Chain A
């Protein structure tokens, strides 16, 4: 029996897409407090305003984050969601699960919470949606003792890192994104659980420039796989594509008739640097001019592969608009070897150089991308001990407001006006 009338939400049970309303109603059969989720949401649909109070500070002893406190502003009407805290649980790299693990986690959540979840939060965490303050420590106890799983991050700290599926099932992965993500997550447990930064900080790991985890847009440090030798070409497979025996783009466009595959039109003419051509029936690439955009490889996955000398580009500073405008990450290290053999030492050094500096100069609630804007890219590069190279910019500056260091200017900045007047009388 419905506990609240929800005429507006009921409309969202129609249509082909899986309905979250239907799902919550099903859960409400065993967890009656879930009716209050629907009730408070229906009220928000009517009033067109949220009914959650501002903020909320709850947590577990030992950690400064991991749980997002939330209270209803109409608790008398909807006591089931008076407390409705969200628990972030660390997810496995790439989000591969066994049903045994998920069943155990759901049993825990049925016991300590609403049973409602978000699989997954945008940052990557498993999100357990809705529980009361007094359940937090018991849940955390069971999670750590029975399941060996931990909380994710929240607050001004290192948030939960995430990665693309990488080498587990993608032939383009230029390094082991899962191993790297897992290793750094374990290495930086302290930075994840106890906020010590001026503001939040995120890592993301993509195996190639397709960037399936959107590292370039959603992480303060984006590690994006690439290679620096030649694209591997299988000329026999190229012929199969040209003959129409292999579907372009792995058949991704097969729902519409785009005509027979035309390698000139679909690959060569679309290469952003125009570095490809056909010599008879052989495909040629001038790799020195290739920017490794992935287009040709994406179109002909059976014929073309990334090179053998693999690594990653490291970009820094992506953020959403608040405060001073949205930013993608900016290229800092064009190529870095990413290797488990040295425990990702080079990457860890790089990250810690950023932190040592940003923790000192970063202002309160200033993302590292904003700190970089404030001090300027040249200053950031010198902090990082990185020599400026043309690859650091899309184009050189057009304004002439160039700062020079005093030691770069012959004679320095100390000048005597009297000396000057001897040559130029006023």
Chain B
């Protein structure tokens, strides 16, 4: 599996660039994903989505359904795509250090 070096941190990732170990998550990771997921500038709104994902994951052991993410953050799906061009799965979950979404995608 590839290793990514960014700002002095190193991360083990899978071929889609998702963190293999959620504990590796740190500010450097966020900065790295920002570059590959088409995000020009990190804002409080980005942070709010990341926090919501991590909190939900910590509590429930799964990523929230899109509808629940919209409800907890107050951002409609359209806004989430404006923030994360790859969407809540490939964009936001990756940045938040959550495991890769699975199923019939």
Q: Which residues of A contact B (CB under 8 A)?
A: 53-59, 61-65, 68-69, 71, 83, 154-156, 190, 194-198, 200, 359-360, 364-365
A194 touches B105 (CB 8 A): no
Any chain A CB within 8 A of the CB of B104?
Answer: yes
B87-105 near A? 1/0 per residue, CB < 8 Å: 1111000100000111111
- CB-CB under 8 A from A61, the residues of chain B are 38, 85-86
CB distance from A165 to the nearest CB of B (A): 28
- CB-CB under 8 A from B87, the residues of chain A are 59, 63-64, 194-195
A64 touches B16 (CB 8 A): no
Any chain A CB within 8 A of the CB of B59?
Answer: no
CA–CA, A293 to B100, complex, Å?
47
| Nearest B residue (CB) for A62 | B85
Any chain A CB within 8 A of the CB of B41?
Answer: no
CA–CA, A55 to B103, complex, Å?
7
A198 touches B65 (CB 8 A): yes
A154 touches B105 (CB 8 A): yes
Any chain A CB within 8 A of the CB of B32?
Answer: no
CB distance from B104 to the nearest CB of A (A): 7
Please judge, given known A-B contacts A64-B89, A64-B90, whether A57 and B18 are in contact too, CB under 8 Å.
yes
A54 touches B81 (CB 8 A): no
Interface SS, A side: loop
Q: Which residues of B contact A (CB under 8 A)?
A: 15-16, 18, 38, 62, 65-67, 77-78, 81, 85-90, 94, 100-105
- CB-CB under 8 A from A197, the residues of chain B are 66
- CB-CB under 8 A from A65, the residues of chain B are 105
B105 touches A68 (CB 8 A): yes
Which 5 pairs show the lowest CB-CB distances between chains A and B? A64-B87, A61-B85, A57-B16, A155-B105, A61-B38
Interface SS, B side: loop
- Sample 22 A-B pairs with CB under 8 A, ordered by A number: A55-B100, A55-B101, A55-B102, A57-B89, A57-B100, A59-B86, A61-B85, A64-B81, A64-B89, A68-B105, A83-B15, A154-B104, A194-B77, A194-B81, A194-B87, A195-B89, A196-B67, A196-B77, A197-B66, A198-B67, A200-B104, A365-B103
CA–CA, A364 to B60, complex, Å?
13
| Nearest A residue (CB) for B67 | A359
CA–CA, A364 to B94, complex, Å?
20
- CB-CB under 8 A from B86, the residues of chain A are 59, 61, 64
A59 touches B90 (CB 8 A): yes
CB distance from A326 to the nearest CB of B (A): 16
| Nearest A residue (CB) for B37 | A61
- CB-CB under 8 A from B102, the residues of chain A are 54-55
Please judge, given known A-B contacts A154-B105, A196-B77, whether A58 and B66 are in contact too, CB under 8 Å.
no
CB distance from A321 to the nearest CB of B (A): 14
CA–CA, A364 to B105, complex, Å?
14
| Nearest A residue (CB) for B82 | A62
CA–CA, A55 to B18, complex, Å?
12
- CB-CB under 8 A from B94, the residues of chain A are 57
CB distance from B7 to the nearest CB of A (A): 23
Q: A57-B94, A196-B66 are in contact. List 5 more A-B contacts (CB 8 A).
A: A53-B15, A56-B16, A57-B105, A154-B104, A155-B105
CB distance from B73 to the nearest CB of A (A): 14
- CB-CB under 8 A from B77, the residues of chain A are 194, 196
| Nearest A residue (CB) for B105 | A155
CA–CA, A152 to B87, complex, Å?
16
CA–CA, A61 to B88, complex, Å?
11
| Nearest A residue (CB) for B68 | A364
- CB-CB under 8 A from B104, the residues of chain A are 154-155, 200
| Nearest A residue (CB) for B64 | A364
CA–CA, A3 to B93, complex, Å?
40
B16 touches A58 (CB 8 A): yes
- CB-CB under 8 A from A58, the residues of chain B are 16, 90
Taking each of A53, A64, A194, A360, which has the highest tally of chain B beta carbons within 10 Å of its own beta carbon?
A64
